[in-house]
């Protein structure tokens, strides 16, 4: 296995055992970036000091440091503030912006010894579900470059899938980690709201934004969260709860765990190939010893409408600061999607419409949260599809924003409720012409595209989600993406 293909666990073990150096593993990632980024467009900027950071990590290693990510290359969604390294939010408005401080998560990663490879592409301001709204061009799905990798954390997902980085940061406001993870055969975590600091992350919708990451395995996801969770006086929404070791129960299996499947998630609008895949997932969990229980989340059908009132309202407020006076360029540099959301949000908050739209949406949000609270009285966790469809072709939905918004139907409710969600790969599905199985003998362009499922749990149940996801993952073959 090539060094850039290693997981976090494998990289840490190899570095500790001095089987290779941080410089070697960082160089392997940089070589992969140089080789493929012109085609995939996952990176907006590469850190020119990455190898210097790797050398320092190797020097620290000589003193037997126990820093959990010492020397491991990590890449950051370009919505994370990075001191001295350009941060654009994938928007021309901030094309030349150089922050004066690191986001809390970035600081924690650096304190843990991580090497920062660079900044990753995404839908501008994190507005999108496909990666096509970036002002620096769309990211492409490395499994088939005619297709989208999902969004908004498109570059994060593509970079991890193609082994340009060992792991990557992301943000999830309505599915922006889980959906691209599902589209690229990677693992993606949307943590409980308030578990990971939002300080230094360019805000999209402040009551919905969750700061997570994408990795190659569930175990890597737990290792990463052990570094980033909790403890930040700069973020008043951060939990005061004790942060557990997320690796502790990883290998306990799912015997005796009750897993719910919402009947609303298998109805109309679900692509038959996705339905077939999730049914196989349900069957597999039953074989592993979990008790599968049908449940109902009755307000699911209102989730998307509720989200696309609340989210643009918060977007319009957050983007008001970009006036071209304090930093960045003026508002004429905003892309079409940003303008659309500003207009929608301003309208729903305006006099005469606040009561009719925003207030009602907030009331529905409460009902959605109560749906989950009642469900978790009966089951320990919930599984569902991530997206109602497989990845779509580049350009297929770009002129139909409503069609694009529908791809968030199964993910937004977790953000509305503030609960965690873990996306786990569950195989490959074919284009309509080839049926449902993975066909290894076909050319790469015809081999199908990844799909996954999500595990949802009560607030602060990430430890349980990792346990469930890891149990399923052990039944699957890990595939290496090669172009």
Active site residues: 77, 152, 176
Report strand pairing: 115-120 vs 43-46: antiparallel
| N-to-C CA span, the chain | 16
What is the helix (H) or strand (E) element at residue 466, kind and residue range?
Answer: helix 462-473
Number of H helices, E strands in the chain: 14, 11
Nearest to 261 by CA among 455, 463, 443: 455
The answer to whether the CB of 358 falls within 8 A of the CB of 309 is yes
Count the neighbouring beta carbons within 10 Å of the beta carbon of residue 96.
10
Nearest to 384 by CA among 471, 461, 300: 300
User: Does residue 377 sit in helix, strand or coil?
Assistant: coil
The answer to whether the CB of 180 falls within 8 A of the CB of 153 is yes
Peptide bond into 236 cis (omega under 30): no
Cα separation, 307 vs 324, whole angstroms: 29
What is the helix (H) or strand (E) element at residue 453, kind and residue range?
Answer: strand 449-456
Count the neighbouring beta carbons within 10 Å of the beta carbon of residue 323.
13
CA-based diameter of the chain, in Å? Answer: 66
Structure tokens at 323: 């006036």
Cα separation, 194 vs 211, whole angstroms: 9
The answer to whether the CB of 60 falls within 8 A of the CB of 16 is no
137: left (phi over 0), alpha (psi -120 to 50) or beta: left
Count the neighbouring beta carbons within 10 Å of the beta carbon of residue 294.
11
Task: Give me the sheet containing 167-172, strands edge to edge.
Answer: 43-46, 115-120, 73-77, 167-172, 210-215, 187-190, 421-429, 449-456, 381-385, 258-262, 291-295
372: left (phi over 0), alpha (psi -120 to 50) or beta: alpha
For the chain, what percentages of helix, strand and coil (3-state, to nearest 5) are there? 40, 15, 45
The answer to whether the CB of 221 falls within 8 A of the CB of 435 is no
């Amino acid at each position: 296995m090539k060094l850039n293909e290693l997981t976090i666990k494998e990289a840490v073990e190899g570095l500790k055992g001095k089987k290779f150096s941080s410089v070697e593993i960082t160089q392997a990632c940089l070589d992969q970036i140089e080789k493929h980024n012109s085609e995939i467009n996952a990176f907006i900027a590469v850190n020119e000091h990455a190898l210097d950071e790797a050398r320092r990590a190797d020097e620290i290693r000589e003193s037997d440091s126990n820093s959990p990510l010492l020397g491991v290359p990590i890449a950051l969604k370009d919505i994370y503030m990075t001191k001295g390294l350009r941060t654009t939010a994938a928007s021309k408005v901030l094309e030349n912006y150089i922050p004066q401080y690191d986001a809390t998560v970035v600081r924690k990663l650096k304190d843990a010894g991580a090497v920062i490879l660079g900044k990753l592409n995404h839908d501008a301001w994190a507005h999108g579900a496909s990666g096509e709204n970036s002002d620096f061009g769309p990211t492409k799905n490395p499994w088939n470059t005619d297709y989208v990798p999902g969004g908004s954390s498109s570059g994060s997902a593509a970079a991890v899938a193609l082994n340009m980085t060992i792991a990557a940061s992301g943000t999830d406001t309505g599915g922006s980690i889980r959906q691209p993870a599902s589209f690229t055969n990677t693992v993606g975590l949307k943590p409980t709201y308030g578990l990971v600091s939002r300080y230094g992350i360019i805000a999209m919708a402040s009551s919905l934004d969750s700061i997570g990451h994408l990795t190659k395995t569930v175990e890597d996801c737990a290792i990463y969260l052990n570094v980033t969770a909790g403890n930040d006086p700069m973020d008043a929404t951060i939990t005061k709860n004790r942060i557990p070791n997320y690796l502790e129960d990883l290998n306990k299996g799912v015997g005796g765990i009750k897993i719910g499947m919402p009947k609303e998630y298998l109805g109309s609008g679900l692509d038959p190939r996705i339905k077939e895949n999730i049914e196989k997932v349900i069957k597999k969990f039953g074989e592993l010893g979990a008790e599968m229980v049908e449940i109902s989340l009755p307000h699911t059908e209102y989730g998307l409408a509720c989200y696309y009132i609340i989210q643009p309202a918060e977007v319009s407020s957050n983007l008001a600061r970009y006036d071209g006076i304090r930093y960045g360029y003026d508002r004429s540099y905003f892309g079409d999607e940003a303008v659309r959301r500003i207009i929608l949000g301003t309208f729903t908050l305006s006099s005469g419409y606040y009561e009719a739209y925003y207030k009602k949406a907030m009331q529905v949000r409460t009902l959605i949260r109560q749906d989950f609270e009642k469900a978790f009285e009966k089951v320990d966790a919930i599984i569902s599809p991530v997206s109602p469809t497989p990845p779509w072709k580049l350009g297929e939905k770009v002129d139909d924003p409503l069609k694009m918004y529908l791809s968030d139907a199964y993910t937004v409710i977790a953000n509305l409720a503030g609960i965690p969600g873990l996306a786990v790969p569950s195989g490959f599905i074919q284009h309509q012409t080839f049926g449902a199985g993975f066909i290894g003998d076909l050319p790469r362009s015809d081999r199908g595209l990844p799909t996954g499922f999500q595990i949802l749990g009560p607030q602060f149940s990430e430890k349980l989600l990792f346990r469930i996801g890891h149990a399923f993952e052990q039944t699957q073959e890990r595939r290496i993406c090669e172009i």
